[in-house]
Amino acid sequence: MSHTSTPPAPAAAAVAAPSPDAYGIGARFSLHPMTDSFIDVILGALDAADSTGLTISTDDVSTHVRGREDRILAYLTEAIAHAGRSGVHTVAHVLLSRGCPGEVACEIADGGAYAPQVPQILRNVPATGIHASAHWALYPLDDEGTDHMAGIYAAIDHAKQLGVFTGSEHYVTRLDGDLADVLGAVVAGWLLVGTDVRHVTTHVTVSLNSPSGQAGAR
């Protein structure tokens, strides 16, 4: 009796993650130093941060940063920390977005969600030695019936694990700690939701050297 074996089917090729530009990964941020020398503080911060691997443009409202998530996090941390080291009360507004909508061009048509692993992103951002207080909001933009709050709560739980969660306020989550840890928690939550939801934005207002904070006010 003859025996005919069927060769195994070839394994499906892994789908490569899209490039940051194709997927629409980027940030907008603005710095507001409370000093007459605000121009020097802002321009000094932008010049001091390492922009390797990033595409950066600045106008009269904000600075746009595009590139890999780890490089965006490092750049934002360095720029905002440099402003904080001026010693003046400085506020930074940061918006992060991923997943194409709202971009000038979007090249990803499969509807898939992509995000790198969180530990890889946070590993190489050293502490700044600068205390930051922040109000953070996270927005999973999905119209397919996903439980948005489940992802938000998971991101908040991760911020608790990182030790920077200090409370829930109206419409925002309060974060306090080293600037690198605060921004790292924001980016981590953005990525955690981004593994399941394609278009995710997050916004954080960061305060450094606040007279109110130094007086112990909350």
Task: Note the pLDDT tens digit of each residue in 5-38.
Answer: 555 554 444 457 788 888 889 999 999 999 999 9
Mean pLDDT of the chain: 87
Rg, the chain, Cα only: 20
Average pLDDT, integer, range 182-209: 95
Across 129-136, average pLDDT: 98
Other CB atoms closer than 10 Å to residue 148's CB: what's the count? 15
- Residue 143: band (very low, low, confident or very high) from pLDDT cuts 50, 70, 90: low
Q: Is the pLDDT of residue 61 over 90?
A: yes
Domain boundaries, the chain: 20-176+189-194+201-214
- pLDDT-derived band at 158, boundaries 50, 70, 90: very high
Looking at the domain that runs over 20-176+189-194+201-214, which CATH code has it been given? 3.30.70.930
Whole-angstrom Cα distance, residue 57 to residue 37? 22
Q: What is the pLDDT of residue 1?
A: 45
